[in-house]
Amino acid sequence: MDGYKPTISLQNLTLSNTYNNLAIAGYTSFVTRYIDGVTPSNNSASIVGVTAQASKGYCEISGSILKGITGTFVESLTNYQVYISATATDSRNRTATGNSNTVTVYGYHLPYFSLDSIAHCDASGETHEEEEQDQNTYVKIVFSLDVASILGNSVTPSTIQLTIDDRTYTNCTLVNNKYQAIIGGGNLSPLANYSVAVRIYDTIMDTLNINPETFTVQLSKKIPISLLDDKAGKVGFAMGIEASQDDVIEMALDTSFTDNVNLIGNATISGEDKTATISSYDLIHNAVRAYEADHTDGGTYGTTIRIMTGTAYKKLKDNQQLDAHTIYFLSSPVTGV
């Protein structure tokens, strides 16, 4: 009676999305067609089902086609072998099994990225400090890659894409097994923070049209805060640069004030003495306050405004001849006022 059992045979696996006609784990698909029947041909039994499985569970069956089985080889970091086994069953629960050919599937992973360093620099890759940091209008990035070493797979430095400030660069070089690039085109701010998006293509990805992962690294400018304390007991404080002057607060950062700023002493802006301009503003402000103070008790003292040189004002001040109800406008600055 065994001659009446169903029969089934599978064709060899046909592969698609291969690398040099070889199967890559996680990316190569397959299809196999089967031929089923009953013997002898006048047997009234029929085929009621066909199932498929891969040895060792290394295959995902994504569906079936007419008289065929399809699937994709699952991801793996190591090589493995797969064959498809199909079973035909007739209405009397008699079975027949057929196996496909065996295929070697090569373990694979996308390139792994590891950052070594990233810093502001000049066009040559040198990072400048303190007063020369305005030359740091580029960024230098150094990183390592772990590339799947199968079937001659590799990364060509020119296929690495680095994007910063909405500009993409492909100028990587390989030096002592490290990938590095100087990017930014001289258009970057030496004190700004940036993010760099890194996309890496190896030869397998290029052949199989695999989209790369995007690795994002942050460049955060470290703002130096320093204190200068000399033997004479004088102290200097600085933000944005190294402290270099005694008894001076140095600021190398853009500064925003959200409240009043009181200036006592002279003011120099870009090397030009602006004391008179600022003092005029302060004096007008003081004039309003003096007027309000004169009238809070209902008195009628009045307020006098006098315009004079800084030298004349200093003379009155030194001789204690200043009038409490007079506002003095200085037409020229003078030291010590």
Give the tens place of pLDDT for each residue, 1-19: 455 677 778 889 999 999 9
Q: 199 versus 43: which is more confidently predicted?
A: 199
The answer to whether 294 and 302 are in contact (CB under 8 A) is yes
Nearest to 289, CA basis, from 260, 332, 257, 318: 260
Does residue 74 have a pLDDT over 80?
A: yes
- Identity of the residue numbered 264: I
pLDDT, the chain, mean:
77
Question: Confidence band (pLDDT; 50, 70, 90) for 52?
Answer: low
Highest-pLDDT range among 129-138, 185-194, 250-259: 185-194
| CB within 8 Å of 219: residues ≥ 6 apart | 118, 119, 120, 139, 193, 194, 195, 196
Q: Is the peptide bond before 111 cis (omega within 30 degrees of 0)?
A: no
For residue 271, give both structure tokens: 């090397």
Give the residue-averaged pLDDT of 115-138: 90
Residue ranges of domains in the chain: 2-106, 112-219, 223-256, 261-337
The answer to whether 187 and 203 are in contact (CB under 8 A) is no
Name the 3-class secondary structure at 125: coil
Question: Confidence band (pLDDT; 50, 70, 90) for 170?
Answer: very high
Q: What CATH topology corresponds to 112-219?
A: Immunoglobulin-like (2.60.40)
Does residue 326 have a pLDDT over 50?
A: yes
For residue 300, give both structure tokens: 């009628």
- Identity of the residue numbered 7: T
Strand order in the sheet with 103-106: 23-24, 103-106, 80-82
CATH of domain 2-106: 2.60.40.10
- Identity of the residue numbered 330: L
Examine domains 2-106 and 112-219 and report if their fold is the same. yes
For tokens 């590095």, name the residue: 180
Does residue 337 have a pLDDT over 90?
A: no
Does residue 45 have a pLDDT over 50?
A: no
The answer to whether 154 and 202 are in contact (CB under 8 A) is yes
